[in-house]
């Protein structure tokens, strides 16, 4: 991870002209870049890494920004390219994606109140051992449903992550598996000899230079390396077996083979075959209560019980779309009423006192809950409300009566007013 010393030098031990509430978000955003483990506020409250990540999610949600796409309440998190331990970036750079970036997006989706489930959109051949086990454990411990889709490759380290999800879906041509470990040794001794270069290694400790590239690999060292990667393969297989509810030996017996499409389902490494768009729709339908997997039924056996799982008889795409349209039509009036109640609750929140403009900004941010709004408002400075009542604030916010406008028009209007109010609030800060 980069240390960003130039940023640290300008942000730490220097006087800053920052509004206190925003300062919290400022340092939270810097935390992964300058290695801030915790943030202590003036009132003594301490935020760890997870709390800082959560506060950033709430702040970004208020601005309408997310580091991931949300479709039908599902956060779609790409897992692409070669996977490395630390990349200090949310998105892939030069074909490399860090487990830290994936974890940051995952943590954000867990803290996002508008996200009902998480879909890992995977196209990766794998990568480094370091970091993969810890990220897989966080995926397995998710309190929201998690599906993984091989689109078109989830191999080795990428499959380790996929196996921690509630369900694995593959496209017809996708490949999954490669449950094994490899290590490469380079021997440049003959090349150095031909060029007249002699390297002398001076060391303390019998194994200090094991595997160095300046001499052939001794058999004893090779055997030691082989034992190490066998241990790692067993750890990999045990994690997959737990996630897929398979026998460990059955996982090992795959001998790092890669399986395509339906073959992956047959061997137990996947649950269903469907395109990404259909998988997204099936996930959305399952979250709406029309069948599918939830965290309460995680890691059900993929062998011998598939016909008994309601999520395996996936509703056809056309039927799922019809059901979704019916649900939207039935929920339009209820949604308008709920939206007005949400806005009123934020404007009437205890922390909204003397923070009228900030409260309006947060109230008009779609998806912002009264609880998150209250937490944000508590960090903002108080300002005069000019004696306006909650009703007057609602009128000033131009909250439409229940069902007064079509849903699309209301969302468009909310977005425009939110952007304008946030710009005004930011200027004031």
At residue 57, the pLDDT reads 61
With a cut of 60, say whether residue 309 has pLDDT above it. no
Residue with the bigger pLDDT between 309 and 73: it is 73
Total domain count, the chain: 4
Quick one: 288 and 144 in the same domain? yes
* pLDDT (average), residues 164-185: 97
Tokens 């395509």 map to which residue?
260
Query: Cα Rg for the chain, rounded, in angstroms?
Result: 26
297 and 213 co-located in one domain: no
- Residue 88 or 239, more confident: 239
Q: Could you tell me the pLDDT band of residue 303, with boundaries at 50, 70 and 90?
A: very low
Q: Kindly report the average pLDDT of the chain as a whole number.
A: 79
Average pLDDT score over residue span 146-174: 97
Q: Is residue 246 part of a domain?
A: no
> What pLDDT shows up at residue 296?
39
- Looking at per-residue pLDDT, the higher value among 174 and 355 belongs to 174
Q: Considering the domain boundaries, does residue 120 fall inside one?
A: yes
CA dihedral sign, ordered 360, 362, 367, 373:
negative
pLDDT tens-digit series, residues 198-242: 999 999 999 999 999 999 999 999 999 999 999 999 999 999 999
All residues at 6 or more sequence positions from 134 whose CB lies less than 8 Å from its CB, including other chains: 99
Find the CATH number of the domain harbouring 174.
Answer: 3.90.226.10
Measured at the CA of 324, the angle between CA 318 and CA 326, to 5 degrees, comes to 105
318 has pLDDT over 80:
no
Question: What DSSP character marks residue 315?
Answer: P
pLDDT band with cut points at 50, 70 and 90 for residue 13: confident
Same structural domain, 133 and 31: no
Report yes or no on 339 lying in a domain.
yes
Alpha-carbon torsion, ordered 357, 361, 364, 367, to 10 deg: -140
pLDDT of residue 313: 39
> Where residue 323 falls among pLDDT bands split at 50, 70, 90?
low
156 is catalytic: yes
Task: Please tell me whether residues 105 and 86 are part of one structural domain.
Answer: yes
Residue 241 within any structural domain of the chain: no
Predicted local distance difference test score (pLDDT) of residue 326: 55
Read off the pLDDT band of 371 (50, 70, 90): confident
Domain that holds residue 400: 320-428
Q: Are 14 and 147 in a shared domain?
A: no
Looking at per-residue pLDDT, the higher value among 359 and 84 belongs to: 84
Phi, psi of 90 (to 5 degrees): -75, -35
Give the E-state strand segments of 184-262 in sequence order: 258-260
Q: What is the mean pLDDT of residues 324-347?
A: 67
The mean pLDDT value for 106-112 works out to 90
- Mean pLDDT throughout 372-380? 77
pLDDT at residue 385 in the model: 43
SS3 221: helix
Beta strands 146-155 and 117-127 are: parallel
The CA distance from 157 to 254, in Å, is 15
In a domain, 76, yes or no: yes
pLDDT in tens, 378-405: 777 776 445 444 455 455 545 444 444 4
Same domain, 344 and 423: yes
Same domain, 210 and 307: no
146 pLDDT tier (thresholds 50, 70, 90):
very high
Please report whether residue 184 resides in a domain. Answer: no
Residue 108 to residue 239: CA distance in whole angstroms: 24
**Predicted confidence (pLDDT) at residue 316 exceeds the cutoff of 80:** no
Say which residue, 346 or 216, is predicted with more confidence. 216
- Is residue 183 included in any domain, yes or no? no
Residues 289 and 155 in one domain: yes
Q: Is pLDDT at 30 greater than 70 in this prediction?
A: yes
Q: What is the pLDDT at residue 265? A: 97
Confidence of residue 64 (pLDDT cuts 50, 70, 90): low
- 415 in the same domain as 297: no
170 and 98 part of one domain? yes
Q: Is 225 exposed, middle or buried (0-12, 13-18, 19+ CB in 10 A)?
A: middle
Residues 408 and 326 in one domain: yes
Do 279 and 364 belong together in one domain?
no
Stretch 72-101: mean pLDDT: 89
Q: Choose the catalytic residue: 55, 124, 142, 156.
A: 156
Q: Terminus-to-terminus CA distance in the chain, angstroms? A: 32
% residues pLDDT > 90 (the chain): 46
d(CA 311, CA 291): 5
Residue 234 lies in a domain: no
């Amino acid at each position: 991870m980069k240390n960003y010393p130039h940023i640290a030098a300008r942000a730490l031990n220097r006087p800053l002209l920052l509004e206190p509430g925003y300062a919290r978000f400022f340092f939270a955003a810097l935390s992964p870049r300058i290695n801030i483990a915790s943030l202590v506020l003036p009132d003594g409250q301490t935020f760890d890494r997870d709390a800082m990540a959560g506060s950033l999610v709430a702040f970004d949600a208020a601005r309408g920004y997310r580091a991931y796409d949300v479709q039908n309440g599902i956060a779609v998190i790409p897992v692409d390219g070669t996977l490395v331990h630390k990349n200090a970036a949310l998105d892939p750079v030069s074909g490399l994606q860090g487990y830290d970036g994936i974890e940051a997006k995952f943590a954000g989706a867990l803290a996002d109140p508008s996200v009902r489930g998480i879909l890992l959109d995977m196209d990766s051949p794998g990568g480094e051992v370091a970091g993969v086990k810890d990220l897989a454990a966080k995926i397995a411990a998710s309190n929201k449903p998690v599906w993984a889709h091989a689109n078109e490759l989830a191999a080795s380290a990428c499959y380790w992550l996929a196996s921690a999800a509630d369900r694995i879906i593959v496209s017809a041509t996708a490949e999954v598996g490669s449950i094994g470990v490899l290590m490469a040794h380079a021997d440049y001794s003959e090349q150095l000899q031909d060029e007249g270069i002699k390297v002398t290694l001076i060391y303390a400790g019998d194994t200090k230079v094991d595997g160095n590239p300046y001499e052939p690999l001794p058999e004893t060292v090779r055997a030691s390396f082989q034992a190490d990667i066998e241990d790692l393969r067993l750890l990999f297989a045990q994690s997959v077996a737990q996630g897929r509810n398979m026998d460990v030996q059955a996982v090992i017996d795959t001998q790092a083979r890669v399986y395509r499409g339906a073959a992956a389902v047959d061997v137990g490494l996947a649950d269903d075959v469907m395109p990404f768009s259909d998988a997204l729709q099936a996930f959305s339908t399952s979250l709406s209560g029309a069948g599918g997997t939830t965290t309460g039924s995680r890691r059900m056996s993929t062998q011998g019980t598939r016909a008994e799982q309601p999520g395996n008889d996936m509703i056809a795409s056309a039927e799922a779309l019809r059901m979704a349209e019916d649900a939207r039509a039935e929920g339009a009036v209820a949604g308008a009423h709920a939206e007005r109640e949400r806005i009123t609750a934020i404007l009437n929140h205890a922390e909204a006192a003397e923070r009228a403009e900030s409260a309006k900004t947060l109230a008009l941010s779609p998806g912002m809950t009264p609880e998150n709004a209250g937490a944000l408002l508590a960090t903002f400075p108080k300002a005069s409300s000019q004696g306006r009542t909650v009703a007057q604030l609602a009128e000033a916010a131009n909250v439409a009566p229940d069902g007064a406008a079509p849903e699309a028009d209301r969302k468009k209007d909310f977005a425009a007013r939110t952007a304008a109010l946030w710009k005004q609030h930011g200027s004031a800060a």
